[in-house]
Amino acid sequence: MSMVSETGRGRAIPQPSIAAEGVPVWDPVVRVLHWALVIAFAAAWGLGKFGPDQMTLHFWAGYAVAAIVVIRVIWGFVGSQTARFTSFVKGPRKVFGYAREMTSRRPSKTLGHNPMGALFIVGVLIVLAMQILSGLLADPEDYINVGPLAQYVSSDVARQALALHEPLSTLLLAMVAVHILSIVFYRLYKKEDLVTPMFTGRKKID
Amino acid sequence: MRKILLSLLVLAVPAAAAAQSAEDIAGARIGYYRLLGHEMSLLAAMAKGDVEYNAEKAAAAAKDLQTLTQYSVSDLFAPGTSNAELPGKTRALPVIWEDMAGLGDKGAAYVSAVEELNGVAGNGLDALRPAVGKLGGTCKSCHDDFRAKDF
Ligand code: HEM
Ligand code: HEM
């Protein structure tokens, strides 16, 4: 099963160009959403923790993250082959199999997300959704930074949402740290550059 | 008659003692902050446009907040009434009693925002909005440092 022939774009690419520029791995939607997520997440996090007490900008950054997550999930069902959850979410056998190869100092040459990366992606999308939901429901009782859905739930729930929002943000920060450290690990230890394809959409394989 | 009075006295003694329990003090404190919330809810609803602006009502709510700044809150922060000592009954963090000066600073910022609001609350929605935003910011700022998110 070759990813190249299934990305759609791949079919149109003549062989010599593949050798020179690499094969297509990430469609433009995946790439734009990823870097938009990086910016919106950093903005939401920074504004939440260090931003002004009137949190309008934090709310907008949060809504941006929400829009990105929703579009990415839809794209995970209807997007290009490597973007689809069905193409990269694997069972425990595949995940453990891949984990055993992690320590070998060779590039994985995966065209698409590898089975362990898939765990992060599904996990981070779920925790992001929880973060957004907790923000939407939170009522900090300052009457200016009230989540727009807090009025539809009891004050107990609105308080519990408030209490979850900060621990979730810390969890997300830790997950992102592991994500970035993994990418550094691939670059330095496994000699595989994952970042360039996230910009260009193409991966060089020798 | 004397018997009845005496027995009433006997009943009244534990009641009087109970009135000073740590839990009651925390309850009174929560009641005080609920009053702030009550006034703020109208002001914020006007600022957001959920309720139509009314100069008289806005000024009255602002005035009530100002009146409440005259209330001396220090006895509401009696020792032994933090959420470490009264779990589930209060959200007042123990750090309040380690940093009374810090709490005082947040209170001072709050009082000056209330004064500012009182200067403009009756002068139209455009004047009210930023003053309510600023005041709400001072509520958040104190809650961030001195109040637990949940009971
Ligand atoms: C500057 C920091 C970051 C870098 C360099 C980076 C890099 C990457 C790379 C190279 C991939 C592709 C991995 C692969 O080949 O399988 C990726 C995927 C991903 N990253 Fe990041 N990332 C960063 C920050 C973040 C942040 C902050 C988040 C989320 C809050 C995030 C969420 C994701 C997700 C969800 C994917 C899957 C992409 C998709 O299929 O849509 N990343 N990242
Ligand atoms: C992924 C998106 C988001 C991230 C990473 C994020 C992160 C944060 C962080 C780090 C804080 C500071 C917590 C603290 O130190 O107490 C915060 C506070 C807050 N966030 Fe978010 N947030 C996100 C989305 C949202 C959304 C969508 C909303 C509402 C619609 C929201 C509403 C709030 C509120 C009301 C607070 C103040 C909590 C308080 O006053 O105690 N957030 N957020």
B93-148: pLDDT as tens digits: 999 999 999 999 999 999 999 999 999 999 999 999 999 999 999 999 999 999 99
- Counted across chains A and B, CB pairs separated by less than 8 A come out at 52
Confidence tier at A17 by pLDDT (50, 70, 90): low
Lowest mean pLDDT among A4-18, A25-39, A154-168, B86-100: A4-18
The reported pTM is: 0.91
In whole angstroms, give the CA distance from residue B26 to residue A180: 46
Is A144 near chain B, with CB under 8 Å? yes
* Residue A163 with chain B: CB contacts under 8 Å: 148-150
Q: Write down the pLDDT at residue A7.
A: 44
Q: Is ligand 2 within 6 A of the CB of residue A147?
A: yes
Residue of B44, B47, B137 lying closest to A53 (CB–CB): B137
For residue A9, give the 3-state DSSP assignment: helix
Domain residue extents for chain B? 20-146
Residue A104, both tokens: 């070998």
Question: Does A184 score more than 90 pLDDT?
Answer: yes
Mean pLDDT across A22-27? 94
**Paired residues of B147 in beta bridges:** B92
Would you say residue A6 has pLDDT above 90?
no
B37 vs A: CB within 8 A: yes
Spatial separation of the C-alpha atoms in residues B12 and B5, rounded to whole Å:
10
Nearest residue (CA) to ligand 2, atom 27: A62
Residues of A (40-69) whose Cβ lies below 8 Å from B: 52-55
Closest C-alpha to A54, from B130, B39, B105: B130
Whether the CB of A117 sits within 6 Å of ligand 2 = no
d(CA B44, CA A54): 13
Q: What one-character DSSP code corresponds to residue A54?
A: S
Q: Is A166 on the interface with B (CB under 8 A)?
A: yes
A65 lines ligand 2 (CB under 6 A): yes
Chain B residues in contact with A166 by the CB 8 A cut-off are 149
Q: Is-contact B134 A54, C-beta < 8 A? A: yes
CB-based burial label for A114 (10 Å; 0-12, 13-18, 19+):
buried
User: From CA A7, how far away is CA B14, in angstroms rounded?
Assistant: 80
Q: What is the CATH number of the domain that holds A177?
A: 1.20.950.20
Mean pLDDT calculated for residue range A101-111 = 91
Spatial CA neighbour of A145 closest among A27, A51, A81, A11: A51
Our answer on whether the CB atom of A4 is closer than 6 Å to any ligand 1 atom is: no
Number of domains in chain A: 1
Question: DSSP class of residue B147?
Answer: B
CATH of domain B20-146: 1.20.120.10
Structure tokens at A206: 């020798």
Rounded to whole angstroms, the Cα distance separating B14 from B17 reads 5
Residue-range definition of the domain harbouring residue A119 = 24-194
Token readout for B56 is: 């008289």
A198 lines ligand 1 (CB under 6 A): yes
DSSP H helix total and E strand total for chain A: 10, 2
C-beta atoms surrounding A19 within 10 Å? 12
Q: List the structure tokens of A203.
A: 């991966």
* B142 near A CB under 8 A: no
Mean pLDDT over each residue of chain A, to the nearest integer: 92
Ligand 2 atom 14: residue of nearest CA? A166
What is the residue whose two structure tokens read 């002004």?
A52
The H or E element containing residue A202 is strand A202-203
| Mean predicted confidence (pLDDT) in B71-81 | 96
